[in-house]
Amino acid sequence: MERYKKDFPIFLSWASKGKPLHYLDSAATAQAPLSVLRAVRNFETRSRANVHRGIYELSEHATEAYEGARSRTAKFIGARFPEEIVFTKNTTESINLLAYSLGKSFFKKGDRILLSRAEHHSNFLPWQMLKEEKGIALDIVDSDENGEISFSSVEAALTKNTRLAAFSHVSHVLGSINPIEEMGALFRKNGVLFVVDGAQSIAHVPIDVGRLGADFFAFSGHKLGAPMGIGVLYGRKEIFGSLEPFMRGGGMIQEVSTEKASWAEMPARFEAGTPNVAGAVGLDAALTYIEGIGYANIEERDRALVYAMVDGLSAIPGVRVYGPKDANTRGGIVSFSVEGVHPHDLATILSRDGVSIRAGHHCAMPLMEFLGVPALARASVWVYNTPDDIRALARGIEHAVKILRT
């Protein structure tokens, strides 16, 4: 088995059943390497206890592991302080937390939020909520015919009342990498808070929140090989530290009386209740795994596979590939349609040969409407994928066409 593939037990387990797994849905969830699974098991069997509470040795071990994961995450994405990292459940919770907390004290009626039409519902609906609840207006930037959001269209959409901009780093449908750095500089200059949805970028491109100019950066652990149920919200301390908490409960207070309460400093303020410590430990191990491979290596592999995919799929009659044509501006995702073949039928037929792709509207209904399609098929890659997976995809598409057309 190929070098990186063998680090992931799921591929060994499928191969041993005689049905090799061609997993092409890492943009939804990446597979977990053995080192992550081991780290989680070691925590559960040796150090499991609640954090920040107990004075006993076990709780101290657990707290060290949890806070160690926080420090590691901070360093990994270039945050200045560990406390700028708040652990959540996933990207969705990160952005909901932020929208709720900003809605409490930051926004006032008439403020405007800048978004793109290509956002995942999780970076759209929390802001739409503020529109309904706070009387805030949303300005929507469209992508061009290649699915790319141009810097000039972002610049043109900026108004003097724009107080926040929320963009995905890499589009989960079109795969396009947005010009986040230029956008960050523009927003900083205009005093606009910048929220970056990093769900699709964190596993593919190196992140430095300072360089990106992001005030907030959200991502999910499960998209980079960590367990499901651990996510991150990075926030620049100067702003994040002034916000109201999202949830109230244990572990997030300064003082409580029957009349009132005051809040702990961040990150504790935003982490009410017992956190997902095993998940944080798994995230720590996943970051170690990625550092071992190196982003330069990941990007090179991505490019080669995406290039092969765009090339291979475009060569099949009736296949239309969406998004940027240039593999250098894609982050491991290729969405496509096959004339006369519904994405669901395609996914079902591919699945029989162990080829796993995503089919549907990808939680981006406003974008689907813009593209004029009810659904698309999406194939996405990560470190374990090989040219053989791409060939299996192309074979499967040809097979599906044979069954369903005529």
Partner 1 sequence: MEDSLYQNRILAEYRAPKNFGLKDDFTHQAKAANPVCGDSIVVRLKIQNGIVREASFKNIGCVISMASASIFLESIKGRAVEDVRALGPDTPLSLLGIPLTLGRLKCGILVLEAVGKAL
CB of 231 to partner 1, least distance (A): 23
Q: Look at the alpha carbons of 389, 351, 315, 29 in this order and tell me if their dihedral is positive or negative.
A: negative
| CB nearer to partner 1: pick between 99 and 364 | 364
Among 368, 379, 390, 394, binds partner 1 (CB under 8 A): 368
DSSP string computed for 212-281: HT-SEEEEEGGGGTSPTT-EEEEE-HHHHTTSPPSS-STTSEEEE-SS-EEEPPTTGGG--S---HHHHH
Stretch that binds partner 1, among 5-13, 101-109, 194-202, 367-375 (CB under 8 A): 367-375
| CB nearer to partner 1: pick between 201 and 335 | 335
What whole-number distance in Å separates Cα of residue 84 and Cα of residue 113?
Answer: 23
Decide: is 19 part of the binding site for partner 1 (CB under 8 A): no
Indicate the Cα dihedral angle 213, 218, 222, 228, nearest 10°. Answer: 160
Residue 76, CA distances (Å) to 57, 93, 206, 208 in order: 28, 21, 9, 8
Could you tell me which residues come within 8 angstroms of residue 47 by beta carbon, excluding any fewer than 6 positions away? 58, 61, 62, 65
CB of 17 to partner 1, least distance (A): 18
CB of 365 to partner 1, least distance (A): 7
Q: Are 24 and 175 spatial neighbours (Cβ–Cβ below 8 Å)?
A: no
How many residues form the binding site for partner 1 (CB under 8 A)?
A: 15
Could you tell me which residues come within 8 angstroms of residue 317 by beta carbon, excluding any fewer than 6 positions away? none
Decide: is 361 part of the binding site for partner 1 (CB under 8 A): yes
| CB nearer to partner 1: pick between 28 and 304 | 28
363 is catalytic: yes
Residue (of 392, 311, 318) closest to 352 by Cα position: 392
Q: Are 337 and 316 spatial neighbours (Cβ–Cβ below 8 Å)?
A: no
CB of 42 to partner 1, least distance (A): 34
Decide: is 237 part of the binding site for partner 1 (CB under 8 A): no
Span 314-353, contacts to partner 1 by CB under 8 A? 342-345, 348-349
Binding pattern to partner 1, positions 35-64, x when CB under 8 A? ------------------------------
Residue 377, CA distances (Å) to 45, 95, 172, 337, 359 in order: 41, 26, 12, 6, 4
Among 135, 210, 273, 374, binds partner 1 (CB under 8 A): 374
φ/ψ of 362, rounded to 5, equals 60, 30
| CB nearer to partner 1: pick between 48 and 361 | 361
Among 2, 365, 388, 391, binds partner 1 (CB under 8 A): 365
What whole-number distance in Å separates Cα of residue 15 and Cα of residue 27?
Answer: 22
Among 229, 251, 360, 366, binds partner 1 (CB under 8 A): 360
What whole-number distance in Å separates Cα of residue 217 and Cα of residue 233?
Answer: 6
| CB nearer to partner 1: pick between 137 and 375 | 375
Binding pattern to partner 1, positions 375-404, x when CB under 8 A? x---------------------------xx
Which of 28, 125, 228, 363 is flagged as catalytic?
A: 363
| CB nearer to partner 1: pick between 28 and 253 | 28
The set of catalytic residues is 363
Given the rule CB under 8 A, which residues bind partner 1? 342-345, 348-349, 359-361, 365, 368, 374-375, 403-404
